[in-house]
Structure 1
Amino acid sequence: MAGHYDAVVVGAGFGGMGAGIQLDRMGLHDYVILEREDDLGGTWHVNRYPGLAVDIASVTYSYSFEPNPNWSRLFAPGDELEQYAHHVADTYDLRRRMRFGTTVSGARWDDENELWTVSIEGGETLTARYLLTATGFLSQPYTPPFPGIEDFAGTIVHTTAWDQDLNLTGRRVAIIGTGATAVQLVPELARAAAELTVFQRTPIWVVPKVDMPIPAAVRSLFAAVPATQRAARLVNTSALELLMVTGVLHYKQLKLGNKGAELLARAHLRRQVRDPETRRKLTPTYDFGCKRPTFSNTYFATFNEPHVRLETGSIDHVAADGIVTVGGHKTEIDTLVLATGFNLWDVNFPAIEVIGRDGVDLGKFWREHRFQAYEGITVPKFPNFLSLNSPYSYSGLSYFTTIEAQMKHMGRLFGEMRRRGARVFEVTEAANARFLDKVTDKLGSSVFYGGDCASSRSYYFNQHGEAALLRPNSTLTTHRHATHFPLDDYDYRVG
């Protein structure tokens, strides 16, 4: 007999914990949070590579209703984010609802009984009235199929499976990838390795990181007068909004803002890298914002070190003792670090098989009929289903903006269900189509469609060339929609 719950939440990262907090607020206390890893925290539990830190200021990268006055720096290191996740789980009594080491293989809607059947690897099944997927945007690591990689005789480590006992002192190291993870990791590798080669396919825009320790006196003030931390959050969030809304989403109308950010990044690169040819290779040929930019004061300067080399030749194959480029040059190494990112569009949307009403497969539906989700959270033909990492859901630059907007959407939707005495909700086809048309139209002004993104190879774009990840609204607008969307955009089944 399957265990039955009010709700099953898949994922115990910050999104899943936000969902649990909101379920409790709505009086749905009988839920379970299923997590494939051995502990909670999502990204901040899985990633443990040297240099790991948040790239959004800590006062903003946290729940607004659960501020942490104890951040040690403006940009907190990864272990503090994991500690914060544990604090949230304990404060909101979430841990007793969590099951770790539990991999969900799929879920299917049972229309006759009005419930979801959730299948767990190993044969167990659970049932629930509601299904909430909170598997994160970057949860499925990707390793390109480099020919010969299985024959490499040295050590291979992916950044999402970092070996804490790995000692790189004196080693000849290569790292493949130059995204945000690599920007944090490369300076750390250079400190230990005898030789470091950075294999770059696509350069990244990097701006200075205004980071510093938060003085004890300021932390004490945050704890004693929470309004001061709320003010710091407002200032930081406003600055991020200015960057996102003016430089990225309203590119056509405000190109100057985008070009200003690009000039800042170019000046930063010019100040930090001495060699003109290296600077040229590190300079993106796409517009600022096409690919997620990042912050660092040490990444560029690392390429001045005599034992660090930038390789921009395409990889032909991996040999037992090194990496060979298309031109035939071999870089001999004994350690290979893969900072190759995540498979976002092929396997992450959704991360599990989800079968809705009339046998509709969500993954196939999205790939055959465009990636879409009403207000970034619900999908037609998927009753009582909330997808917390969906197309057009990511708003602002902090993931917590998205999480809290979705929590508000849940509160409004479930409040209306209680008022009507409904057991089942499903967004209408018409409402979903209107939302998709609206965000598509608004994104027409963004850098993704108005700028030059041809060479960015950005995960913002899906396999159809659509930038279907970001929601083209400010934080204020997104949160207003979450509390004011038309209630008749849903069909309700009263039972």
Structure 2
Amino acid sequence: MSKSEFYDVLIVGAGFAGVHQLVNIRKLGLTAKILEAGSDLAGTWFWNKYPGARVDSPMPIYQFSDPDLWKDWTFSEYYPDWKEIQAYFQYVDKKLGIKQDVSFNSRVVSAHWDDSVDRWTVTSEDGRIFRAQFLSLCTGIASKYHMPEIKGIDKFKGEVHHTSRWPEKYDFAGKKVGVIGTGATGVQVIQELAPVVAHLTVFQRTPNLALPMKQRKMSAEEQQKLKDEWYTILFGRRYQTFSGFPHDLVPKPIAETTVEERALMFEDLWEKGGFHFWLGTYAELFTNQKFNKEAYAFWRKKVRERILDPELQEKLAPMESPHPFGVKRPSLEQKYFEVYSRQNVTLVDISKNSIEEITPNGLKTSDGVEYEMDVLVLATGFDMVTGGITSIDIQGQDGISIKDKWSDGVRSYLGVASATYPNMFWIYGPQSPSSFTNGPSSIELTSEWIINCVKHMKENGISSIVPTEEAQYAYSELVNQLGSVGLWNGAKTSWYLGKNIQGKKTQMLQFPGGIPTYAKLCNESAAKGYEGFDLKRTGA
């Protein structure tokens, strides 16, 4: 039997959340270890290295808010790519010595709670055993990539690559390439591959209502000016807005606005780029169908101006919206819509002619057409939000796995913990604000709350904390109620609702009420002695 390793806190995942947890657990004088499946830091940016992979949040706030870290770091672009994010994590490691407390190539396969000693026993894929009082799941919302079941894929003679497991070395120049999927990943990789391949065939199920990124280079001088004048304000602003971005939704009722006022706002937000058109407009975008259609009509007009062919216009920006605008996280694009006007690009609408099978030489659709290719790229996404947690055999007080518990729907308290799983927290996961927000904004908020909870427990002789069933039910119902108010169900394949994975229960998987409301709920619980939790005293 392997010798156990003992820590106060075990952290699963070495991305933003895991590193933030480690740094702050150390400050409490406690021992911690990160278990990371990959061979280096950066979390999702370690795994996602496909051409064009980059963040959709601007660089001032897509980093840690600690001034000791941002004062000496400079990005080269407003929206950094995966290489710069990886370089940033290496910089953080040099400053703080993160890797000395990380066990790389350590995929966690099980975590079992022992109620008699208030400890977790965690086992990695290579058989190592770890024990700890606290378990912090920093697996993120996109750690379990989704491989669709497609007939004949094992018979394909060419290369098959999922975007989340991109090969270190590749050369697609002069090759015929097919891409399945036009989500955020698909948009990014399609933009990059189109100019270099012999022919690109894109298989689209749902048009992507992408927004202009407005990418630009950032000089060191410009960033220094931002640091001197704005960084402190920008980081402070994060917990004050719905999404953790500096801009915020406008609460003014649509009924009190004019057509002219809205048109001018749309134009201003569009020119600013990024998520301004999504998370800087009137809040009724998510609840008012008539206003939502007005926003879509503006988006459609802007996009169609960039597409010359009428048939492509209808495929990429149809007259009737495929779903309410903004109920899926919009992708940010730089040249996406122009790609389809290239002679070497074919767009196939698989909502009309579905994928029938992969053949040895390509892909056949239900209308009998076979598309030849040398390389097949699967931009098919992830088992979002829950997959990273349910892929681990986690058993709590009753010995029932969390995967089985959640088979009929996720239930949590405060989007941070679950009943019958004491001393287990997660960050940027189910029923937290997660992808309604800028990642680091949501991550630091939740991570700080967990750190303060652990500190409170240590100072007050509390050995375990676990949500009550009643509090969990009430919070989960609140998430469902907030979700039912909006237009979210209008998206047939939204991963916000778990609809992208066959057999997964349809429900709002994230807290849709915004960061300030979420923070208020969390802070009120803590202020009332962690109301909604059962606390067990040491030795009790």
Same fold (TM over 0.5): yes
Summarize the Cα distance change of 1:266–1:240 in structure 2 as closer, same or farther, 3 Å threshold.
farther
Checking the alignment, whether the CA contact within 8 Å between 1:45 and 1:82 is kept in structure 2 is yes
CA contact under 8 A between 1:249 and 1:447: conserved in structure 2? no
The offset of 1:257, in angstroms, is 5.9
Change (3 A) 1:124 1:38: same
8 Å CA contact 1:179–1:339 kept in 2: the answer is yes
| Distance in 1 separating the partners of 2:360 and 2:126 | 37
In the other structure, the counterpart of 2:501 is: none
Q: Residue 10 of structure 2 aligns to which amino acid in structure 1?
A: V
Matching of residue 67 in structure 1 with residue 62 in structure 2: no
Pick one of 285, 294, 299 that aligns with 1:265.
Answer: 299
The equivalent of 1:237 in structure 2 is 245
CA contact (8 A) 2:141 2:385 kept: no
Q: Could you say if the C-alpha distance between residues 260 and 26 of structure 1 is closer, same or farther in structure 2, counting changes exceeding 3 Å? A: farther
Match of 2:205, SS?
A: coil
Query: Of the candidates 92, 99, 122, which is equivalent to residue 118 of structure 1?
Result: 122
Q: 1:6 to 1:461 in 2, by over 3 A?
A: same
What residue ranges of structure 2 are gaps of 5+ in the alignment?
Answer: 239-243, 251-276, 499-503
Q: Deviations over 1:296-324 (max 9, x none)?
A: 13001000101101011311001111110
SS in 1 for 2:80: coil
Residues 52-201 of structure 1 mapped to structure 2, 5 A cutoff:
52-65=53-66, 66-67=69-70, 69-201=73-205
Please state how far the C-alpha of 1:77 moved relative to its aligned partner.
1.6
Can you list the C-alpha shifts for 1:435-470, whole angstroms capped at 9, x where unaligned?
A: 112222222222214xx223xx111112222122x2
Distance 2:341 2:76 in 1: 30
The answer as to 2:368 corresponding to 1:328 is yes
Match for 1:393: what amino acid? S
The answer to whether the Cα contact below 8 Å between 2:53 and 2:82 also exists between their aligned partners in 1 is yes
Q: Does structure 2 retain, via aligned residues, the 8 Å contact 1:426–1:491?
A: yes
Alignment match, 1:388: 427
Q: Does 1:465 align with 2:506?
A: yes
How far is 1:249 from its partner? 7.1
Distance in 2, matches of 1:474 and 1:347, equals 23
Aligned partner of 1:493 in structure 2 is 536
For 1:207-248, what per-residue CA distance to the aligned partner results, in whole angstroms no more than 9, with x for missing partners? 11222112332123245x1x4233456498132656666869
Alignment of 1:336-347 (within 5 A): 336-344=376-384, 347=387
Aligned partners of 2:12 and 2:18 also within 8 Å:
yes
Deviates most, 143-152 or 478-487: 478-487
Cross-structure match for 2:484? 444
- Helix, strand or coil: the match of 2:194? helix
Residues 240 and 149 (structure 1), Cα distance of their counterparts in 2 relative to 1, 3 Å cut: farther
Residue 32 to residue 158, structure 1, CA distance change in 2 (3 Å): same
* 1:410–1:177 distance in 2 versus 1, CA, 3 Å: same
What is the CA deviation profile of residues 16-73 of structure 1, one whole-angstrom value per residue up to 9, with x for unaligned ones?
1122123123332x11100111111111111111111111112222222343651212
Instruction: Determine the C-alpha separation between the residues in 2 that align with 1:171 and 1:85.
Output: 34
Q: 1:214 to 1:270 in 2, by over 3 A?
A: same
**Amino acid aligned to 1:34:** L
Is contact 2:60–2:231 with CA below 8 Å preserved after alignment? yes
| More moved, 396-405 vs 132-141 | 396-405
Query: How far, CA to CA, are the matches of 1:374 and 1:59 in structure 2?
Result: 31
User: C-alpha displacement at 1:417, in angstroms?
Assistant: 1.5
Q: Measure how far apart 1:430 and its partner are.
A: 1.9
Distance in 2 of aligned mates of 1:241 and 1:412: 30
Query: For structure 1, which segment, 286-295 or 311-320, has the greater mean C-alpha deviation from structure 2 after superposition?
Result: 286-295
Query: In structure 2, do the counterparts of structure 1 residues 26 and 73 end up closer, same or farther at CA, with 3 Å as the change threshold?
Result: same
Shift of residue 472, structure 1, vs aligned partner: 2.1
Query: Which residue does 1:476 correspond to in 2?
Result: 516
Partner residue of 2:491?
453
Residues 1:367 and 1:346: Cα distance change in structure 2 (over 3 Å): same
Change (3 A) 1:445 1:481: same
**Aligned amino acid, residue 183 of structure 1:** V
TM-score (norm 1): 0.92
Counterpart for residue 278 of structure 1:
312
Write the distance in 2 (CA, Å) between the matches of 1:252 and 1:343: 24
Q: Aligned partners of 2:298 and 2:59: how far apart in 1?
A: 23
1:36 corresponds to which residue?
37
Q: Name the Cα RMSD after superposition.
A: 2.3
Q: Distance in 2 between matches of 1:429 and 1:89?
A: 40
Change in Cα spacing, 1:482 to 1:257, as seen in structure 2 (3 Å) is: farther
Q: How many Å separate the matches in 1 of 2:221 and 2:316?
A: 40
The CA distance in 2 between the partners of 1:240 and 1:178, in whole Å, is 27
User: Which residue is 2:266 aligned to?
Assistant: none
Whole-angstrom distance in 2 between the partners of 1:229 and 1:425: 36
Q: Distance in 2 between matches of 1:124 and 1:252?
A: 47
Task: Measure the CA separation in 1 of the matches of 2:293 and 2:27.
Answer: 44
**1:100-148 C-alpha deviation (Å, 9 max, x unpaired):** 1111110100111210001112322111111111111111111211111
1:417 to 457, 477, 480: 457
What residue ranges of structure 1 are gaps of 5+ in the alignment?
Answer: none
**d(CA) in 2 for partners of 1:213, 1:346:** 35
Q: Once structures 1 and 2 are overlaid, which stretch shifts more, 99-108 or 13-22? A: 13-22
Amino acid paired to 1:461:
L
Aligned residue for 1:366? 406
Give the letter aligned to residue 474 of structure 2: R
Q: CA separation in 2, counterparts of 1:446 and 1:253?
A: 5
User: Separation in 2 of the partners of 1:464 and 1:13?
Assistant: 28
Amino acid paired to 1:493: K
Q: Is the 8 A contact 1:56 1:397 kept in 2?
A: no
- The answer on whether the counterparts of 1:11 and 1:42 sit within 8 Å (CA) in structure 2 is yes
Shift of 1:390: 2.9
AA matched with 1:488: E
Inter-partner Cα distance in structure 1 for 2:58 and 2:249:
13
The CA distance in 2 between the partners of 1:334 and 1:354, in whole Å, is 41
User: CA offsets, 1:257-299, max 9 Å, x none?
Assistant: 6445423431232121111111111135111122221111300
CA contact (8 A) 2:13 2:137 kept: yes
- String of CA shifts for 1:342-364, please: whole Å, max 9, x gaps: 12377434231100002121111
3-state SS of paired residue (1:168): coil
CA drift of 1:428 comes to: 1.6
The answer to whether the aligner puts 1:376 opposite 2:423 as a matched pair is: no
